[in-house]
Structure 1
Amino acid sequence: MNIYQHFRPEEREFIDQVLQWKSYVESTYALKLTDFLDPREQYILKALIGENGEIKYKLLGGSQDAERKRALILPEYLTGNEEDFQITLLEIDYPKKFVTIEHPQVLGSLMSLGLKRGKFGDILIKDGRIQFFAAKEVCDYIKNNLESIGRTSVKITEINLNSSIRSDVLWTDEHVTVSSLRLDTIVSNIHHLSRQKSQLFIGQGLVKVNWTLVENSAFEVGEGDLISVRGYGRAKIMSIEGKTKKEKWRIQVGKQK
């Protein structure tokens, strides 16, 4: 069976990577720790590793409701613990009374250090406080090199994982029935928009899937996808539950309030 046919062509490289990780654990009986994975990558990893084989996986992002998570792939007889995930929590100290720093600025500054996106996890912002999860192997590098965000001087401090900010964002689950898994159809049904309006938003570059801009209305959405529409918030495709008797897709969606 061709395993690639169940996924998108652009995901082939990541599929090969997961299969290499699995093979490594099978042949060495050693743990394999990945970088931070987005929800879609987590879904692919779960599908390829499976639930009942000799190889298993665990996921941890630093907090209970983290979106981006590191995966620990390990032999069935090993347990693995929180320390094995090598996750640190860093807080950004800056003059909060005079400056406002937003998520894109933090992300851009981290990327400008030459780090891969997989080396850090969720960025948390609440009441002027800013934190982010990072892989332990780059923690010292970030502390020593992230000296400013925009024109604002900052200081990076490592704090305990238990001190992470709890987001005020709430997710609500709902079931949606759609005629197809096309992106324009999904956006239209989730946000109660006309098909024409959802196509317009996609064409104008207002829609992202897994943090990547998608301008093709016919793009097929899959399980684990995180869809953001500017001005309308974000939604997760929690599961695709199959077709109804009328050949429509029934999906479970998490919507951000």
Structure 2
Amino acid sequence: MEITVNLEKEELLFRKIILETAKSAYHKEICVYTDFLNINEISIFHSMEKELPLLAYSMYGGYEGAERVRICFHGDRTKEHGTIVLQTKEKNEYPIECLRIYPTSEKFARELDHRDYLGAILNVGIERSKLGDILVRGKEAYCYCDALLSEYVKTSLGKVRHNIVRVEVIKPEEVQATTSFKEVTGSVASFRLDSLIALAFRTSRSSITGLIAGEKVFVNARLITSNSYILKPDDIVSVRGFGKFKVKEQGGISKKGRIYATLSIYQ
């Protein structure tokens, strides 16, 4: 019960912060940015769009396809209300920089994981909301963060687990942030949410029911709690504890009346 109450308080506080941020942009007619938001926070934001002032907004996390993103509320009222396509100029204006974290001696360094880098950065006093995605590449990592804190992390972070490291601050566009996929194909009775999740992660539809009811499934960063929700090509589905996939295409129908589907699983 106590955990539920705390979660409700956190959500109410988050909603208040989003509303105040949007109002600030609207009244001052300037761009105002949120911290980095996780997928649950993005879903809450989408659910409150009707409560917000009529102004445009965009999302960006330092690279295309980033999971943690910052929202920019555009105070320019000449822009069309709702999401806008990010132009290169607007991407560069986001207060986001990238930290390249690499060992001083690659020969003796160990390969580390996402949790190692995140823990080390949090230990120097940085809040999670000030950090975006962390991409691990071999023995080094790229962490997207609030531009105001990049120099502090650079001078404060000297060790990640057993590795002595250096930190270099670079512009997000200097990083070749690419996402790899594994294709999965198969046939399903319909393009229902539970059917395609079962296909993507090679599990049964009955085991998916609890995940959806447990609010662990998001479609295009919106929380979905209906098993029968119908997916369409280009939808992106995130399942906490399992991963993320994109609906690539809907194929023909088999002799038994089943629909062929192709999914791209994020690696």
Q: Same fold, TM exceeding 0.5?
A: yes
C-alpha distance in 1, partners of 2:11/2:199?
26
The answer to whether the aligner puts 1:161 opposite 2:196 as a matched pair is no
Q: Secondary structure at the match of 2:65?
A: coil
Alignment equivalent of 1:87, drawn from 96, 104, 111: 96
C-alpha distance in 2, partners of 1:40/1:19?
17
1:219 maps to what in 2?
Answer: 214
Alignment equivalent of 1:111, drawn from 106, 109, 122: 122
So what's the TM-score if we normalise by structure 1?
Answer: 0.68
Q: Quickly say closer, same or farther: Cα 1:168–1:189, change in 2 above 3 A.
A: closer
The answer (yes or no) to whether the contact 1:125–1:165 under 8 Å persists in 2 is no
Q: Which runs of 5+ in 2 are unaligned?
A: 1-6, 80-86, 224-237, 248-262
| Bigger mean CA deviation after superposition, 9-18 or 115-124 | 9-18
Instruction: State the shift of 1:235 in Å.
Output: 1.9
C-alpha distance in 1, partners of 2:192/2:14?
30
The answer (yes or no) to whether the contact 2:111–2:138 under 8 Å persists in 1 is no
Q: Secondary structure at the match of 1:81?
A: helix
The answer (yes or no) to whether the contact 2:39–2:68 under 8 Å persists in 1 is yes
1:146-190 CA deviation, whole Å, 9 max, x = no partner? 1100121111011232221333522769984156xxxxx986564
The answer to whether the aligner puts 1:72 opposite 2:72 as a matched pair is yes
C-alpha distance in 2, partners of 1:217/1:20?
31
Q: Which runs of 5+ in 1 are unaligned?
A: 1-7, 180-184, 203-215, 239-252
Amino acid at match of 1:91: R
1:15-66 CA deviation, whole Å, 9 max, x = no partner? 222122222223332321111112332343344346x973111111111222
Q: CA RMSD in A?
A: 3.6
For these two proteins, the number of residue pairs brought into alignment is 213
Looking at CA atoms only, which structure, 1 or 2, has the larger radius of gyration? 2
Instruction: State the shift of 1:222 in Å.
Output: 4.2
2:42 maps to what in 1?
Answer: 42
2:202 maps to what in 1?
Answer: 192
C-alpha distance in 1, partners of 2:47/2:15?
10
The answer to whether the aligner puts 1:170 opposite 2:171 as a matched pair is no
C-alpha distance in 1, partners of 2:152/2:90?
25
C-alpha distance in 2, partners of 1:187/1:47?
23
Instruction: State the shift of 1:119 in Å.
Output: 0.8
| Bigger mean CA deviation after superposition, 14-23 or 87-96 | 14-23
Aligned sequence identity (%): 20
The answer (yes or no) to whether the contact 2:179–2:266 under 8 Å persists in 1 is no
Amino acid at match of 2:175: S
Q: Quickly say closer, same or farther: Cα 1:222–1:90, change in 2 above 3 A.
A: closer
C-alpha distance in 2, partners of 1:29/1:39?
27
Instruction: State the shift of 1:135 in Å.
Output: 0.6
Q: Secondary structure at the match of 1:88?
A: strand
The answer (yes or no) to whether the contact 2:26–2:53 under 8 Å persists in 1 is no
The answer (yes or no) to whether the contact 2:181–2:264 under 8 Å persists in 1 is no
Q: Quickly say closer, same or farther: Cα 1:237–1:47, change in 2 above 3 A.
A: farther
So what's the TM-score if we normalise by structure 2?
Answer: 0.65
Q: Quickly say closer, same or farther: Cα 1:196–1:81, change in 2 above 3 A.
A: closer
Instruction: State the shift of 1:129 in Å.
Output: 3.4
Q: Secondary structure at the match of 2:17?
A: helix
C-alpha distance in 1, partners of 2:23/2:245?
30
C-alpha distance in 2, partners of 1:132/1:156?
10
The answer (yes or no) to whether the contact 1:172–1:256 under 8 Å persists in 2 is no
| Bigger mean CA deviation after superposition, 105-114 or 121-130 | 121-130
1:194-222 CA deviation, whole Å, 9 max, x = no partner? 467669xx8xxxxxxxxxxxxx8841344
C-alpha distance in 1, partners of 2:182/2:96?
25
1:132 maps to what in 2?
Answer: 143
1:117-155 CA deviation, whole Å, 9 max, x = no partner? 111111112243321111111111101111100121111
